[in-house]
Amino acid sequence: LLLLLGFALVTIRINDQKVYLKKLIEIEVERKAIVSHFEYLFKYANDIITLLDKDFRIVEVNDKAIGTYGYSRGEMIGLNGKLLYSDLGQKLVSENLRFINDKGFDFYEAVNRRKDGSEFPVEVSARSIEIEGNKYFQFITRDITERKQTETVLRESEEQYRSLFENMINGFAYCQMLFEDGKPSD
């Protein structure tokens, strides 16, 4: 009877372990699928994504960052993130970091610099995050060169229209004075 009871307990214990291990495997498969999904999103995102440590050194970048800035992946990892900003932008980084540290996030426009020295306008969504007890900064950066060019063309067009309209009114008043009573006046 004791042997049967012992055998039953061992069988129950083995079944419990099987169920537990099966559940662990399912959780691990699900975790791997999620990690794989986020790696895919990170790698192929249309925006520049950079992860920087508390010292503002680049820890991770996506393919868009490599293509946009012109650095190789090896050159970017460990690079001071301030080097991706224009001279003016580098001065503002400290201010932005204070805001990110206080509020946890920031959204702003800046001018970034490529490896070749060329600069381009960007829109930045920054966030401080904690991973395994370490603080990081995540930057999602969008090149807004086309938008800025369109805004400039639109602004110039509005100025031309305004000038034309204002001069048209002056010309109309002048013509009206010339043609009073239906005949040209001297």
Q: pLDDT 10s digit of each residue in the chain, 186 long?
A: 888 888 989 999 999 999 999 999 999 888 888 777 777 777 778 899 999 999 999 999 999 999 999 999 999 999 999 999 998 878 787 788 888 988 999 999 999 999 999 999 999 999 999 988 999 999 999 999 999 999 989 998 888 888 877 776 655 655 555 566 555 555
Q: What is the pLDDT of residue 165?
A: 73
**0.75 exceeded by the pTM?**
no
Q: What is the pLDDT of residue 85?
A: 92
The SS3 call for residue 107 is: strand
Q: What is the pLDDT of residue 176?
A: 59
Phi, psi of 62 (to 5 degrees): -100, 175
Half-sphere exposure of residue 74: CA atoms within 13 angstroms, side-chain side: 0
Q: What is the pLDDT of residue 181?
A: 54
Measured between alpha carbons, how far is residue 74 from residues 50, 77, 170 in Å? 14, 5, 64
Phi, psi of 66 (to 5 degrees): -60, -45
